[in-house]
Amino acid sequence: MLDPDRRNAAEPAGIVAHSHPKAQRWVPVVVTVIAAILVMGVLYVASDLFVPIVIAALAYLTLRPLVTRICQYGLHQTMASVLVITAIFSVLAVIVTLLYSPAQKWIEAAPESLITVREKFSAIAEPLTTIDRADETIDEATTPLQKGEPKLTVSYEKPSLIDETTVINQTGKWLAFIVAVAVLTFFMLSTGDDLLNRMLGVLPDHHSRENVLEKISDIQASVGRYLAQITAINTGLGVAVTIVMYLVGMPTPVLWGVLAALFNFIPYVGPLAATAVVFLAASGSFDTIAGSALAAVAFWLTTAVEGQLVTPAILGRTLRVGPVVVLLAVAFWGFLWGFPGVFLAVPLLIVLRKVLAGFEATHAFAVVLGEAERPHLDDDEALQEDKTIAEVV
């Protein structure tokens, strides 16, 4: 017979033994959450380091097939990389040079455009009257109280959207950023294959190397295809918007075509933001609100036709993700990396989807992000994308 004291002493141990496996189930979840928070913190704090590296990596994935094709004509990989990088950045330099002066003029004229919008929409422009109220307050304060007293003259300067010191600092920062991206992209294109081969050589067997190489090739194909297709689409959109802006009489139509092409890299939100910019600029160029609205509506309709017809037809199989997921990705990377993160959101979403699809444990998350689901249902039970949940059930 077991001694009562020993039995009572053994009961807590039994309780702990039975509860210990339950506690162990939460350990991986807690560790995963802590690791995710730490990774996001590192990405946020070291954004100046990671953003150029990520842009260069995406450029490498996109331009590598082009470099490979050039090398087939007998040109060395280093020279082919130099040729591709020089051509791309030369085109960008020409575009920036041509559009810098018009863009600067529009930015300088933005306060006047705001005043014009206020005058045309006086009922909804109450926040924009702060400067005028300050003017009236100063005039009242400086008016002589008695006749014959000298009047104090106070001069003030209305705020401008452009600060020369800020512009100089930001210009130097962006130039350093562009140089860093160009150098990183060049070295990835010229020596990236050697680095990849060294990483594959560390793996234990041939099967593991083939598996990793297949996943990397899948990521490269998906990201490269998306970036190539969206760049071609946005270039065509820029040409179309330039023509439309010219027809409606908007000054510097090429500037608005480039604006449309750039902002269209930001899904859903980008075209709306560009439309607001066009409306603000048009308000300072047209005498009537009807002319400003016509320019903005023409701009929006052009981007809407592209977004509803062209992009789904070309990117339907490449993107395969709903608007909610895309907007969440834009908000997440925009929070971490600011404006560059907004542009990188969709390519990074595709990379994350392919990485998650490569592992059995995370494949379900990849399906949520747009990866094709593995067939496991009968034909009569398969979910149809064109049916609602009620119709499927």
Tell me the pLDDT of the chain (393 aa) as tens digits: 445 555 554 445 444 444 556 666 777 778 888 888 998 999 999 888 899 999 998 888 888 888 888 988 888 888 999 999 999 888 888 888 888 777 777 777 666 666 666 665 554 445 545 555 555 555 555 555 455 555 555 554 544 545 555 555 666 777 888 888 889 999 888 887 777 778 777 777 778 788 888 888 888 888 888 888 898 999 999 999 999 999 998 888 998 999 999 999 888 888 999 998 898 888 877 777 788 889 999 999 999 998 888 887 777 666 777 788 888 888 999 999 988 899 999 889 888 888 888 777 777 888 877 777 665 544 444 444 444 333 443
Cβ density class 108-130: b for 16+ within 10 Å, e for less: ebbbebbbbbbeeeeeeeeebee
> Cα angle vertex 197, ends 191, 199, to 5°?
105
Cα end-to-end span (Å), the chain:
61
Q: Which residue has the tokens 């140089």?
A: 179
DSSP state string for 96-107: HHHHHHHHHHHH
Distance CA 64, CA 101 (A): 34
Distance CA 65, CA 225 (A): 10
